[in-house]
Chain A
Amino acid sequence: MRTLLTLLLIGSLGGTLLYQATDGLRALTSEGARRVAVTDAARPVPDVTLQDQHGDRFSLAELEGRVLVINFIYTRCPTVCLALGDALQQLQRVLPAERLGGDVLLLSISFDPANDTPARLAAYAEWFRAGEGWRVTRPLREADLEALLAQFGVVVIPDGRGGFEHNAALHLVDREGRLVAIRDLDDVDGVRRWLEDAS
């Protein structure tokens, strides 16, 4: 009898804790946790200064009033950033021309600003045929980069071969400048629908 009670106690306590620790069984990985956290509570995007492929500087605050699809990349990336680039390229293709560059902006942000000079960013943009509504950028200050990665929950680790591994996803920012959702990079349809709803 005492064993039964102990089992019930341990089971219910442990079960509850595990339920809490996985956000109600919704997230087993930290990538999942980051997505759940953003969905549950939108996060304001930090106001940082970026430089795009043409060398032009602008602040994220200037973009308020538009919806943003953001990915984090480095231009030497041989693997996952190519898929990320593909995702934005597909979005560029399916979005109506009047919206892209209008109230919708695609934004690639490099987390390797030392290597990714405007020339490299331009080459990357050209490779993916980035049009007016797709800016390929880098933060100019180290503190800005850190603030961006921290607020978006992006973790970048060196891969030991001179490159990086990092969370690959599409980050959706609403008109008030808040990160409201994080989607898989192959969920182009989902992102398109979200953008239609946001129009």
Chain B
Amino acid sequence: MTSGTRSGLAGLTLLVILAPPWMRALLESGMAGHMLLQIPLLVLAGTLLAGFVPDRWRARLATCNRHGLSGLLLALLTLAYWMLPRSLDLALESGWAELLKFATLPLLAGLPLALSWRPLGMIGRGVVWSELVAKLAVLGWLYLEAPVRVCTRYLVADQEQVGQALLVIALLLAVTLTLRAFLVDHGRAGESAREATGTRRQKDPSGRTGHAVQDSPGTITDV
């Protein structure tokens, strides 16, 4: 079994775990579980599913996804929709909206993100990460300060909890990224230089020819 298939199966398994009504009820019972657990996990499942996309398709998609821009835009627009408070409410009220959430977050956010991550390049990925940290922090502050309840299906206390959690996540992410930039990526700079000369390719354990490093799917934690 290739690593791509394994990751795809992991994505499917994650979706199967998230889908049962009791699991949805559990995660959606609070705003934090809905926004900060279920939605990110659905996106993660999508990035794992990218392992199923064969090289042939990747090459074809890449022609209209230079620098990963198209995929990034698609993912951002999809995430923008699911960040609307009324979308969360709708997902709780309507089975169709819930189904739409389970389809669009993996397929229109996670999957295109995974396919675009490498092509985005180091600078592109850096921009995404720093924007993410900034947005999470602003959002957290907004949720703490909002004079109104943004979701009619969730309590004000829930909203404040989400606000605090968003600030903590933003802080942790910022610290992690900074540490990575200094510790991990520093060491990797030499590695990528070797990679450019082709010495790395032969050592790749997956045995696939060509852009083995680029093809490893779902590695969006790579900076």
Contacts and interface: CB of A to CB of B under 8 A. Distances in A.
Nearest to B85: A29
B155 A21 contact: no
A19 to B, nearest CB: 11
A10 interface: yes
Interface stretch (A107-115, A153-161, A188-196): A153-161
Interface in A1-40: 2-3, 5-7, 10-11, 14-15, 17-18, 21-22, 27-33
A157 B158 CA distance: 12
B80 A7 contact: no
Q: Is the interface of A mostly helix, strand, loop or mixed?
A: helix
B90 A2 contact: no
B152 interface: yes
Contacts of A29: 84-86, 89, 148, 150-152
Interface string A156-171: 0101100001010000
Contacts of A6: 64-65, 70
Interface in B68-87: 69-70, 73-74, 77-78, 80-81, 84-87
Q: How large is the interface on B (under 10, 10 to 19, 20 to 34, 35 or more residues)?
A: 20 to 34
Q: Is the interface of B mostly helix, strand, loop or mixed?
A: helix
A79 to B, nearest CB: 9
B86 A27 contact: yes
B153 interface: yes
B58 interface: no
B149 interface: yes
B63 interface: yes
Interface of B: 63-67, 69-70, 73-74, 77-78, 80-81, 84-87, 89-90, 148-157
27 contacts: A3-B63, A3-B66, A3-B67, A6-B64, A7-B69, A10-B77, A11-B77, A14-B73, A14-B74, A14-B77, A15-B77, A18-B77, A22-B84, A28-B86, A29-B86, A29-B150, A29-B151, A30-B85, A31-B149, A31-B152, A32-B86, A157-B152, A157-B153, A157-B154, A160-B155, A165-B149, A165-B155
